[in-house]
Structure formats: structure tokens, C-alpha cells
Amino acid sequence: MAPRAVRVVVVLATAAALAFAIAGCARRREAPPSGVLVVSQEQQGSWVRNFNPLTTATAARWPTMAGIYEPLFVFNSVKGTSVPWLATAREWREGNRVFRVTMRAGVRWSDGQAFTARDVAFTFGLLKRFPALDRRGVWGFLESVKAVDEHTVDFRFKRIFIPGADEIVAQQIVPEHDWSSVKDPVSFANEHPVATGPFTVVKTFENQVYELGRNPDYWQAGLPKLETLRFPAYPGNDRANLALVFDEVDWAGNFVPAIDRVFVNRRPDAHGYWFPLTGSSIFLYANTTRAPFDDVRVRKALSMAIDRELLVDVALYRYSKPADATGLSDAYSTWRDSIAVASGDWVHHDATRAAALLDEAGIKRGADGKRRLPDGKALNYEIYAVSGWSDWVRAAQVIARGLREVGIDATVRTYDFSAWFQRVQEGNFDLTLGWSFEGPTPYTFYQWLMAAATVKPTGEASMGNWHRYGSAAATRALAAFEVEADSLAQHRLCAELQRVFVAEAPAIPLYPNPSWAEYNTARTEGFPSREDPYADASPNKYDRGEVLLVLTRLAPRQVGR
């Protein structure tokens, strides 16, 4: 079947399935009262009560990281700026060896006690005592953290490390008086959170739904304007999307097929979406600890076997575009190096060149059309994706089809998120879809793609660099970036990193991930949009606190508007 025909069949089948489900669901649930925001951000069959902001983000319920607890600064990915939050100022001292942060006065924890610099020092002390909590790796560059007075904290560095400042200010802070008696903060579920955020009251928690109430003493006077956040449990995209279409959900961060037809057109005055390409980038990760993926020729061949135009058509309904060879999303458009982009022709679909590279690598095609390694072993691989993530699953199917066309026997294997994430973190895979890691600059992006220091042994869980690739050239450029405070010099170093990435192809970029955001303004107003892009609209942007910019802006829709 021709690629265009494949696209038509898959897209029509998926859209038709959703349309059929919509047609078969005539009953509409009673709308929640004014001031209640119903959110679909994570898809689970049932909820586990966990509000620990220091553990992995996948363990804690939304919005633990940015809504219950808060960071020192919030990063606005749309504006490219850091917004003072629990802190009001930051500065380098002593030749960039001490990073001083000034805390906001007048902030209180939800139990009434004052928030002070001691809470900040205590939080970072926990990360040091329990390394499993140090998700950002701050104690790799910190020497000490000291509360100078009630409102000032000094972070002393072991060495000059300019990107470390962004990791420090993104850290969620917990109260010393509530956590000092916790014996094991790694496994602590924190079922009754004491926090500084706009929504700190657990009003109800059941395995199918939970609700958070507003913090009546929030430090931003008069905020939040919403009374309650409600979170029904949906086991996958399909069920979550039906709830969205039928006005049971006000705000979602899901992939919705044919969104204009199945969602917007049902209620154009209230249904909206905004999918800027400022999310993470989606990659095909090949495990470079396993042959033949340790060969750059093979990785580039895999890439050229993929028809990205077909992929974004079939899997993403053209919500995105094919990635260039730098892998950078539009969030880093001002950093993109044109020379690197132009030289990265291995992201263009070319089955003939892919076959030639595989031949050059000694992976010949047999009489049966299948390729084998020099030792005679056939190339049979599973491409991992998360079950229920329909965009990923379809993308993996397109990739598998392309690999089969060049003689690599590839199939798609799906796991529920927890099982998939464990396999990927521990390096127990051949090929998998996965996301990238972002920060205010591309430093973090490339650090977790090819820095030698981020390579963990197979079997040991790793935050990133799941493909376990270390580049000497990239490590040198990253080290130079770490001590460089000048913006122009940082851009030059980033160009160097892009060129290294293009030359070595440590991972295979597929497309910049849209920042998924669907909203219903029938009951709630103030969502970011194309017309009012004050922040990213997605509820998924919590790692550096951006969700807080939205939660503190949303308000019940006024009658008559």
C-alpha cells in the first residue's frame, strides 16, 4: 500500500472510531458547579494518593510539583523568562562560585507557619542526604547550602557551573517543620500536604476521583480565583478524549485526533486548543550499548528509513512537523545553528541510502530480504511505546514499516507506563520512543543526550540518556558552556553541540512534540491561547512551575459572558 493510502486509512479509521464512540454516547453528565476546574492531565485506571514533590514526577499526583508545592522561580517557556515566585531575586557572587537567592517575605505554609530561608536550606539538605530525591543532580555541583538570614540563601558551588542556577531555582520547596520527622522521604506518600501553593487542601481522595481545594491563605492576595480542582481517573486517551468532547473536562493535556472536527466544531464558542511546538522533542532511542546500534552508520540508516512526513501525518494529524537533525524544538529557535541543520541530511527519508549504509556496516541483506549481522544473527527488534498513547503507538508503527522496507524485522511492543518507564530507565530495550529533557537553554537538552557523565550502567535507573551514549566532543563543549556566563559565547558553544550531535547521531529525532493543551471556556476563562500567549497552555508543563502561571490566572466564567 502506498504511503498516502496508508495515511488515509489510518487517519480515517482513528477519527471514525472516535466519532463512532461520540455518536454512541448520548448521555451528558451534570456539569460541575462554578469555580470547579475538571482536569485530565495523567491517565491512570485508578489513583494512588501521593503528594510528595521530591520523588519522581510520575509518582506524585498532579499538580503536586506546581500547584500544591512551588519552586523559587517559574520558567515561562513561551516568553523565555524566569518569573520570581517563592524567591524575588538571584545573583552570582564571588566570581560565580556563590549563587545568592533572596526569598519572598510574607509567604506562609498552609498550616500558618512562616516560609523562610531555613526551609530552602532544609529541602536541599534532604536532597543531599537522600540522593534518590536529587532529580536535578544539584549535589553534583553544590558544595554547601546555607541560610544566611530569614530571607537569604547562599548556594556555594564546588566549581563554576552557570547552568546550575536554573536547576536550583526550579526546585520545589518543602517545610522543615513538617518534613524533619519523616524517616524515609523517598517512599513518603505525603497524603496530607503542608505547602505554599494555590491549591493545598485535599478535599476528597478516592481511587476514581480526587479533589483539591484552594489555599485560603495563599500569598498572592485574592488568588486563586477557582475554588476546586477535580481529577477523574481515565485509563487512556480514548476515554479521556470522550470526557473532553462531552464537556466533562475543562482542561486537558492529551493527544486528540482530528481535533477541529471532533472537539472544536461541537462547540466553537467554548472549545479551544493550542499546540505550540515548544514541548520536548520525541526521539527514537537506539540502545547504543548493544550492537549494531553502537555504530553511527546504523543509527543514521535507521533514521533515513523513517518517513517522517508520513509519521507526522498518520500519528499526529499534522499537529507537528518532521524534526531537523539538531533535534531542537521551536522553544530553542533562537539557538538553532543553520550549518548544523543543513548538514543533517540523515533525517530525510531515503531508503536507498539507508540500505547502502547498512551494507557498509556489514549488515547484508539475504536472499529472504532480511538483514543479518556479520555473525549471521538476524536483525529482529521490538520498538517500545506506551500503551494508550495512541500517537506514539502509530508513530512506532510507521517506524517499524520503514525499517522492514530496508530489511530490518521490526515490530511494535507496548507496555503500561510504569513497566515501559522502568525498562527504558534501566536500559533494557533495543529501540524505544521517548522524550527529551528541556531547560531554559539547550544545555540540559544536549547534556541528557550525549554527556559522558550522564551514562549509567545497564540495569541502573537513569533519569535520562536512556540510550547510554557519551561523546567526548560534546562533553568538552558542555564543560565550556558550564563556565560561560556570556550569552553570545553560550550561543557559539550551542552551535558546536549541534554540530557534534549531527555528526554522531547519538539519538534519532522524530518531531518536536506539541505542547498539548485543550480547554473549555464554558465554565472557566483565562486559558493561554494563540491570541493571549502569556504562558504555555499545557497542564503538562509543571517541571519548572509553568502551570502555576495558568492556575493563578484562571477564573470562573462570569455569567453573561
Q: How far apart are CA 306 and CA 75, in angstroms?
A: 34
Residue 32's pLDDT is what?
79
User: Cα–Cα distances in Å, from 492 out to 340, 421, 481, 499?
Assistant: 12, 35, 9, 11
Q: What is the DSSP string of 441-473?
A: SHHHHHHHHH-GGG---TTS--SS-TT----HH
Phi, psi of 144 (to 5 degrees): -160, 160
Nearest in space to 191 (alpha carbons), one of 55, 60, 67, 51:
51
| Residues 6 or more apart whose Cβ sits within 8 Å of residue 381 | 403, 408, 409, 410, 411, 430, 431
C-alpha cell at 475: 562533553
Q: How far apart are CA 331 and CA 334, in angstroms?
A: 8
Please report where in the chains the cell 531515503 appears, as a residue: 350
Q: How far apart are CA 481 and CA 477, in angstroms?
A: 6
Strand 228-232 relative to strand 431-435: parallel, antiparallel, unpaired? unpaired
Chain centroid to Cα 303, Å, comes to 23
Helix (H, G, I), strand (E, B) or coil at 365: strand
User: Cα–Cα distances in Å, from 41 out to 53, 283, 449, 515, 521?
Assistant: 17, 22, 26, 12, 17
Phi, psi of 508 (to 5 degrees): -110, 105
Residue 27's pLDDT is what?
46
| Residues 421 and 429 sit within 8 Å (Cβ to Cβ) | no
- CB neighbourhood size of 357 (10 A): 24
Residues 297-331: tens digit of each pLDDT: 999 999 999 999 999 999 999 999 999 999 999 99
Chain centroid to Cα 257, Å, comes to 20
Residue 467's pLDDT is what?
99
Q: How far apart are CA 338 and CA 340, in angstroms?
A: 5
Q: How far apart are CA 272 and CA 254, in angstroms?
A: 13
Start-end ranges of CATH 3.10.105.10 in the chain? Answer: 277-514
The CATH fold assigned to 277-514 is: Dipeptide-binding Protein; domain 3 (3.10.105)
Class of domain 73-180: alpha beta
Q: Which residues of the chain are modeled with pLDDT < 70?
A: 1-31, 57-58, 559-561
DSSP 132: G
Q: How far apart are CA 336 and CA 494, in angstroms?
A: 8
Helix (H, G, I), strand (E, B) or coil at 483: coil
| Residues 386 and 420 sit within 8 Å (Cβ to Cβ) | yes
Residue 151's pLDDT is what?
98
C-alpha cell at 381: 527488534
Please report where in the chains the cell 556555594 appears, as a residue: 156
User: Cα–Cα distances in Å, from 213 out to 115, 188, 200, 228, 557?
Assistant: 20, 22, 6, 5, 18
Residue 380's pLDDT is what?
95
| Residues 6 or more apart whose Cβ sits within 8 Å of residue 518 | 244, 251, 252, 253, 254, 256, 259, 263, 271, 272, 273
Start-end ranges of CATH 3.40.190.10 in the chain? Answer: 36-43+191-276+516-556
Residue 560's pLDDT is what?
59
Please work out, in degrees rounded to the nearest 5, the angle formed at the alpha carbon of residue 317 by the alpha carbons of 313 and 320.
80
Nearest in space to 46 (alpha carbons), one of 234, 327, 277:
234
Residues 395-436: tens digit of each pLDDT: 999 999 999 999 999 999 999 988 999 999 999 999 999 999
CATH of domain 36-43+191-276+516-556: 3.40.190.10
Chain centroid to Cα 115, Å, comes to 29
